Amino acid sequence: MLFQLSPDHLEIRESIHRLAQEKIKPRANDIDEAGVYPMDIKDLLAQYGYLGANIPEEYGGSGLDLLSFCLIVEEISRVCASSSQVVVVQELGTLPILIGGSEDLKRRYLPDIASGKKIAAYALTEPNAGSDVQSLQTFAKKDGNDYILSGQKIFISNGGVADFYTVFAKTEKGITAFVVDSDTPGLEIGKLEKKMGIKGSPTAQIFFEDCRVSAENIIGEEGQGWVLAMKTFDKSRPTVGAQALGIAQGALDESLSYIAEREQFGKKIGSFQGVQFMVADMATQIEAARGLVYQAAEKVNELGVEGKNPEVTKASSMAKLFASDVAMKVTIDAVQLLGGYGYTHEYSVERMMRDAKITQIYEGTNQIQRIIIAKNILAGSK
């Protein structure tokens, strides 16, 4: 590995690697087949402190930095992307509270998130507002000390299992973020999507019909939701990059095991130059992605997201973009290396290929990432 990790980071990586290989990997295929949120994995990760890894110690978490969190996500994704979603979505749903929430809001929600007692979700996307977030139609109207929330969200990870949703809606002052408890009257779960991959991570429609939400549940200030969402993505996109990186590394792991045993024409196929070239390309691409993801995480650690630093934005988008493209290419190559076996459920590379695709789409498509990167580069060249 070219990127030099500190002794603390190496220790974290080793501990989560061991847990993932011993406890999560044996469950991966069953989770994919069942297509149900793995509560046992959630409880396991909470037991070892990984569920609240990014939450400060004062709120019951482990208080780890973003690079540490990326290492955790990478090692879980290496064996089971659905299981990595347990920590990834938990982080995404709580980041707005961590970044802009009041002390009261943090005290009310973060300890239960860190302990695994509550599950979080992030509700931004709508039928007509995917990449175009400014086109949100969900609306919250002020009514005394409350807001009446109405609208629809789609493609919401943890939909139906979350205990609360970080919901973005338009108010008279602009886009505003709210914490909405799942038992709020008027909140209804729509259809669960049948997906290509990450099947153990439920994705659902959410409907809000005259949901009464206290003004105390606004995250930050009214009208600051857009900035809060963008700051959240600056911190969460390296995490998606780490997820993609882990998927790619897992596919390479499986490929190396296979080609070390498989024989054709009286030789191990790993001795063939064509196979060696594929392995060399896969490993090189993974290492390049790892460098971008780790450096982006370190940049967030160093500069933070409070001031919406353009260097953080660019680094986060680069990490997500490149690592997810690598994950897709590497997993396709892994299926090719395994031939007919790679196309069957008997080997996990086909699952990894299906799981990899979503990393190019969610938390900003890779086309959007290219726009963000270019804008920041061009703005810096003036």
Facing residues of 142 across strands? 147
- Listed in sequence order, the residues at least 6 apart from 266 whose beta carbon sits closer than 8 Å to its beta carbon are none
- Cα distances (angstroms) measured from residue 277 to each of 123, 268, 333, 353: 43, 15, 11, 20
Which residue among the candidates 74, 75, 91, 363 is catalytic per the annotation?
A: 363
Residue 103 bears catalytic tag? no
Rg over CA atoms, the chain: 21
Residue 298 burial (CB count, 10 A): 17
Give 107-113's long-range contacts (Cβ < 8 A, gap of 24+). 107/59, 109/164, 109/179, 110/52, 110/55, 110/56, 110/59, 110/60, 110/61, 111/59, 111/60, 112/163, 113/51, 113/52, 113/55
Q: Which of 156, 143, 228 is nearest to 187 (CA)?
A: 156
Helix locations, 116-224, DSSP H: none
| DSSP assignment letter at 343 | G
Residue 239 · residue 67 · CB < 8 Å: no
Residue entry with tokens 């780790």? 294
* Type and span of the H or E element at 175: strand 174-181
φ, ψ dihedrals at 283, nearest 5°: -65, -40
Active site residues: 363
